[in-house]
Structure 1
Amino acid sequence: MANYSMRWVTMDSLEEAKKALHEIGADPAGVVHMAGKGLGRGIKLEQVPLRVAHILKQEMLSVGGDAAVHRNVIVSQVEFTDVMLLGTVRQLEKLSAKVLAQPFGLKQIGHDLKRLLGNLEPPKSRAISCRGKELRLGERTLIMGILNVTPDSFSDGGKYIDLASAIAQAERIAAEGADILDIGAESTRPGHVEVSAEEEWQRIEPVLKVLTECVDLPISIDTYKASVAAKALENGAHIINDIWGLQKDPDMARVVGEYSAPVIVMHNQSGTTYHQLMGDIFTFLRRSIEQAEAFGLAGDQIIVDPGIGFGKTLEQNLEVMSRLAEFRILGHPVLLGTSRKSMIGKTLDLPVDERLAGTLATSILGVTAGVDIIRVHDVQENRRAVDMADAIVRGQRGAHYVGA
């Protein structure tokens, strides 16, 4: 007995838990039953009616977990309360099954909880069809390279406004290992001046027409204007990247739906006031997802972006960064765009041209959180950093074990 050792084993998903149990020689049938017992989850429901909160509390206790509610629930002095379900994956799975037969909207909670637990598992390898191009997700983190054909972008405004320099930069982005090329023709930096749809298209059109012929990458167009998106898709673009999540231009959802174009929906708002930061962001993104779905898009065709640097203070940006993994609950691919942004500049007190190291740190955090796409200016450096992080993070825990 004196020779035994004890250690903590990191298990963040059912797959990792199963590998760890198989490694010790556990019975395969027992592994299926036990894996979920080693994973703790905290699931928050916001603004739950009082009677539903009582039922959730009771049912969580019955399966061996617990539920935290507002302290005045016990004396029925509140009509609504947030609820934090506290338990293992196994207990939460039992809860989701039990409440399916309950009244007061609990059936929907059961379905949503089951889907959420599934979304927290590592994504499987799959392909997104991008209007003739294909992107593979779940195997490695993809890099989106930024090409700004603007005179006033915060980082590289004016560098690529003539056709020759824009094409040369696009070819460099492709050669350095980007998976997607994102073209922007209107600066969205703080305090930017909006340009007309006509001027934005005049900047994009000549570059797009050449790049669709000479760059073998899916091309994304960074615009929130439906008319620009329609012209770009008509002229060979593959993806639309909307910084207003389909909620600025009422025709944008229709346009991307008609062209069956994958769309990136980013969280954004005017001002930095929130009721609950993460809750409000998810409410916005769910609205964007619903609008895309209403026009026929689904699943991986809808990519969500937390919107770092948009409608958020430094502290709020940092909190969102610390909670990146939570965006997986939406069930869609996640894109992270932090490259050279003011969050890095303010945190490190550095000018735009000295923010590469800070950007790399955020990119690696994105990989560890399960982000699918990283949007950056410095492609080669981020490609190398992300590949190294992928080699460590994606599927390595227990990967050496080749048993049952």
Structure 2
Amino acid sequence: MRDFRMRWIKLDNLEEAKRAITEIGTDSVGVGQMAGKSLGRAIKVENVPLPIAHILKQEMLSVGGDAAVHRDVIVNKVDATDVLLLGTVSQFGHFAQKILAQPFGLKELGHQLKVALKGLEPPQERTLDCRGRELVLGKRTLVMGILNVTPDSFSDGGKYVDLKDALSQAERLIAEGADLLDIGGESTRPGIVPISAEEEWSRLEPVLKELIPRISVPVSIDTYKAEVAEKALVAGAHIINDIWGLQGDPEMIRVVGKYHAPVIVMHNQEGISQQLMGDMTAFFRRSIQLAEENGLSGDEIIIDPGIGFGKTREQDLEVMSRLDEFRLLGHPILLATSRKRMIGNILNLPVDQRVEGTIATSVVGVAAGVDMVRVHDVLANRRAIDMSDAIYRKLRGRNFAGA
């Protein structure tokens, strides 16, 4: 009996599909025609009005795909429904073009769909200008080192309140492989009593004044107060990291727009969401819109899923398992899980014993395609990330024939 040596080839994006078909010996025209047919996608659109749901269903069927809708749509007994669009990359490409010409606001959906399809492809190497200092995105997963100059942060509070200690730690983090630093002057752990902008700035100012001229990597400021952000940017900071995603302090978006500073928009909320992923996506779209309306675009807007903020442990785990879904937004992703409560609860470990748990989440992030991880323990995470990058960013991308 002949051994046909059948095996499954995992194809996640067009680049992999083209490489696999080329390996067969197919001509270039055939590669272009078939690559998009090999990749199935499922994209959910929530709370779609009934007339639009009918259009989406018809248009997906017309290109050879399909759309799952509520059973009562066909008899017009619902006002709105979630729609799960099902098709190949090629079919979605045709579908997006068709709905761009449709009424009822479907042009915007067509644009979002094009961004989503692009976000599912491997990132291209590019440079982000952070107010004069550069970060290379798409080549490897970047590591953001954490420096808290606070007396009460959950993990390292009180360790670096002295200027000399703060500067020494910053230089240590860079030596261990940090591509950028995130400096915080106020703890954001649960139950903390907020401090004034004046007190927060009094902690940050001496460190920034001494540190920025001494190092070459970009400095991010972890603050949700526009007054602090503006003073930090005037002092030479390069990025603003806002735990309220530009939706807390109404002046924050004016500040980042005025100084054209890249901004990290983190998901946060009061209470617990019952439709987590959909609510998070809507939150991010609002943050992105605010940033774009004030002059920022593309890689200048970085999204952070906000592990540990406004979520249960189970929801944190759900977000971790679905990180790659945020790539559909078309912006870089930052993952910040270092030593967090989720890890402590699962492993039943105190803060100072959560390094391995943090490394595990960093590896999950690399596999999901995040662009940066924010960590306290730079050296250990840098090594794990470099190894993971070799597997997920390089091996499948360059040596497919030997897979």
**For residues 146 and 252 of structure 2, what CA distance do their matches in structure 1 show?**
22
**TM-superposition CA deviations, 1:301-342 (whole Å, max 9, x none):** 111100000000001111111110011111111100000000
**For residues 292 and 111 of structure 2, what CA distance do their matches in structure 1 show?**
19
Map of 2:266 onto structure 1: 266
Question: Are positions 1:76 and 2:80 aligned together?
Answer: no
Structure 2 counterpart of 1:37, one-letter code: K
Alignment of 1:201-350 (within 5 A): 201-272=201-272, 274-350=273-349
Residue 246 to residue 101, structure 1, CA distance change in 2 (3 Å): closer
Structure 2 counterpart of 1:350, one-letter code: L
Map of 2:362 onto structure 1: 363
Question: Are positions 1:178 and 2:178 aligned together?
Answer: yes
Map of 1:14 onto structure 2: 14
**TM-superposition CA deviations, 1:193-249 (whole Å, max 9, x none):** 111000000000111111112122101110011111111111111111110111111
Map of 1:134 onto structure 2: 134
**For residues 400 and 301 of structure 2, what CA distance do their matches in structure 1 show?**
35
Stretches of structure 1 that go unaligned for 5 or more consecutive residues are none
Map of 2:167 onto structure 1: 167
Map of 1:380 onto structure 2: 379
Structure 2 counterpart of 1:117, one-letter code: L
Map of 1:393 onto structure 2: 392
Structure 2 counterpart of 1:392, one-letter code: I
Q: 1:396 deviation in Å?
A: 2.4
**For residues 158 and 259 of structure 1, what CA distance do their matches in structure 2 show?**
31
**For residues 400 and 368 of structure 1, what CA distance do their matches in structure 2 show?**
17
Residue 69 to residue 259, structure 1, CA distance change in 2 (3 Å): same
Map of 1:99 onto structure 2: 99
User: Sequence identity of aligned pairs in percent?
Assistant: 68
**For residues 208 and 108 of structure 1, what CA distance do their matches in structure 2 show?**
42
Q: 1:401 deviation in Å?
A: 6.1
**For residues 188 and 285 of structure 2, what CA distance do their matches in structure 1 show?**
23
Higher mean C-alpha deviation, range 72-81 or range 306-315: 72-81
Higher mean C-alpha deviation, range 108-117 or range 259-268: 108-117
Residue 79 to residue 259, structure 1, CA distance change in 2 (3 Å): same
SS of residue matched to 2:178: coil
Answer whether contact 2:11 2:39 (CA < 8 A) is retained.
Answer: yes
Q: 1:65 deviation in Å?
A: 1.7
**For residues 277 and 400 of structure 1, what CA distance do their matches in structure 2 show?**
37
Residue 260 to residue 398, structure 1, CA distance change in 2 (3 Å): closer
Q: 1:275 deviation in Å?
A: 4.1
Answer whether contact 2:115 2:329 (CA < 8 A) is retained.
Answer: no
Structure 2 counterpart of 1:93, one-letter code: G
Higher mean C-alpha deviation, range 368-377 or range 211-220: 211-220
**For residues 350 and 200 of structure 2, what CA distance do their matches in structure 1 show?**
28
SS of residue matched to 2:181: strand
**For residues 323 and 201 of structure 1, what CA distance do their matches in structure 2 show?**
36
**TM-superposition CA deviations, 1:237-262 (whole Å, max 9, x none):** 11111101111111111111111111
SS of residue matched to 1:101: coil
Q: 1:107 deviation in Å?
A: 3.0
Structure 1 counterpart of 2:354, one-letter code: R
**For residues 254 and 398 of structure 1, what CA distance do their matches in structure 2 show?**
40
What is the RMSD of the two structures over their aligned residues, measured on CA atoms? 1.2
SS of residue matched to 1:129: strand
**For residues 93 and 160 of structure 1, what CA distance do their matches in structure 2 show?**
52
Stretches of structure 2 that go unaligned for 5 or more consecutive residues are none
Q: 1:55 deviation in Å?
A: 1.8
Paired residue total? 401
**For residues 277 and 400 of structure 2, what CA distance do their matches in structure 1 show?**
38
**TM-superposition CA deviations, 1:39-83 (whole Å, max 9, x none):** 111000011111111121122222222111111112211111000
Structure 1 counterpart of 2:263, one-letter code: V
TM-score scaled by structure 1?
0.97
Answer whether contact 1:221 1:229 (CA < 8 A) is retained.
Answer: yes
Residue 3 to residue 398, structure 1, CA distance change in 2 (3 Å): farther
Residue 398 to residue 223, structure 1, CA distance change in 2 (3 Å): closer
**For residues 317 and 42 of structure 2, what CA distance do their matches in structure 1 show?**
21
Residue 24 to residue 259, structure 1, CA distance change in 2 (3 Å): same
**For residues 185 and 222 of structure 2, what CA distance do their matches in structure 1 show?**
7
